[in-house]
Structure 1
Amino acid sequence: MNSHSSHKVQLRWWQLAIAVLLMALVSACKPEPKPMTAGITGYNFTREGVQNYSVDEMYGSNLPPYGGGGSLSCCVLLPAQWKPELRVTVNWTMGRWTRPYESRKHLSISEQIKCCSSKRTLTKTVPIEPYGEDGGDLQVFFLPGDEIKVYVSNYGLGHEKHPSGLAYPENPNPPTDKEK
């Protein structure tokens, strides 16, 4: 190879290197989409009440057994675009009455809690299920076996476009009047 050809090859390599560098700079200069603010709501699919819960230290409201939705708490900040590594930490306290109301109704509330309630506090870091650019509310699903699922959606449970495909929670064994 003569020096002229060698010079041409070096020149092409430099041109290629500059083109790659320019492309990297242009892509780095694209503004990151602004994060979105999402209200927090929860759905409880268990027989225990959710006494309290938080998502990344932002609190949601309490949830009855087999209930929830409806009210929103403020807020978590989410990326405008979903990413597979996106996770949140959920802390929650589950509780239930260990004796029927009829056997404890003569007690004060503090006495009822002391004698007849059971509580446990849990923490899990879980992925947020994929969401689109339209975003929505952050919805925490409390599932049997202390499992948690987190969705971001503008749709309520039972809607054909809700990403979970689930209906509103229902008690498979509703309590009798004596048990209430």
Structure 2
Amino acid sequence: MTDRLSRYQRLATHLAAFAALSGVCACEKHPGPMAQPLDLSYLPKHYDTLGASSQTLNYSPWYIHEWSIDGPEGSGVQGGGPNVMPVKADNKPSGGGAQTCCSDIPSAWQPDLTLTVRWLVDKKQDGKTPGYRYKAENVRIPKYRGNMGGLWAVFLPGDRVRIMMADGQKGGANDPGLRPENSDPYIAQGIADQEWNRLYRIGASKE
């Protein structure tokens, strides 16, 4: 009787140990949910910005009443600049004197930054027509090194615009003293801003 009881006790002990081992193995094969890193990629990128004075140059035959820039929503990049008369009779650009403060631009050049540029242009210049609004999207700024001379909007014939950040590099891509070549990759084509023209009730047709 004692031997039989001892065998039952040993069997029960072995079964308990096996069950415990099986439980451990099951846990190892089927681990519980693990914490996942928080995905914040959907949030807009915000840049460390600095305040830069804004100036305008105009090589086009039209009066530019105002212009503005906007970066992606939430980026903190925004601003605008003063009005400018049409190109001079000797084909030298108008502008370059008056400046406004301030445009908020990344303190360090950002290769992935694109801007939307909007401007109000008077093509009739009859003193009656308020003008038409244009915009250029996905506008990039050439690589700059610091802020030596502010932000510049350069307007060119054919409703085109070029944005630069004067960094003191004479002869470089951000030198406002040089007229951009027609092949310049940073020149952006503008189109009639239908939304803003409707908003301001000034029509949406091109001249």
Q: TM-score surpassing 0.5?
A: yes
- Structure number with greater Rg is 2
Question: Among residues 131, 156, 178, which one is paired with 1:143 in the alignment?
Answer: 156
- Shift in alpha-carbon separation, 1:76–1:118, aligned structure 2, 3 A: closer
Q: Is residue 2:109 matched to residue 1:82?
A: yes
**In the alignment, what sits opposite 1:119?**
131
Of structures 1 and 2, the one scoring higher in RCO (CA 8 A, sep 6+) is 1
Aligned residues with identical type, % of pairs: 26
- 2:178 corresponds in structure 1 to 166
Answering whether residue 122 of structure 2 is matched by residue 95 of structure 1, we say yes
> Conserved in 1, the CA contact under 8 Å of 2:124 and 2:131?
no
TM superposition score normalised by structure 1: 0.56
Superposition RMSD on alpha carbons, in Å?
2.9
Aligned length: 119
Kindly state the Cα deviation for residue 118 of structure 1 after the two structures are TM-superposed: 7.0
* Alignment check: 8 A CA contact 2:145 2:167 kept: no
Distance 2:53 2:160 in 1: 21
Question: Which residue of structure 1 aligns with residue 100 of structure 2?
Answer: 73
Match of 2:85 among 59, 64, 72: 64
Report the equivalent of 2:57: 43
1:75 partner SS: strand
Question: In the superposition, relative to structure 1, how do residues 51 and 134 fare at CA in structure 2: closer, same or farther (>3 Å)?
Answer: closer
What is the deviation of 1:65? 0.4
Q: Give deviations 1:29-63, integer Å, cap 9, x for gaps.
A: xxxx9532111111111001102211225331111
User: Aligned in 2, Cα 1:34/1:121: closer, same or farther, shift over 3 Å?
Assistant: closer
TM-score by length of 2: 0.49
Relative to its length, the structure with more helix (as a share) is: 1
The gaps in structure 1 that reach 5 residues or longer are 1-32, 100-111, 169-180
Residue 14 of structure 1 corresponds to which residue in structure 2?
none
C-alpha separation in 2, matches of 1:80 and 1:59: 17
More strand by share: 1
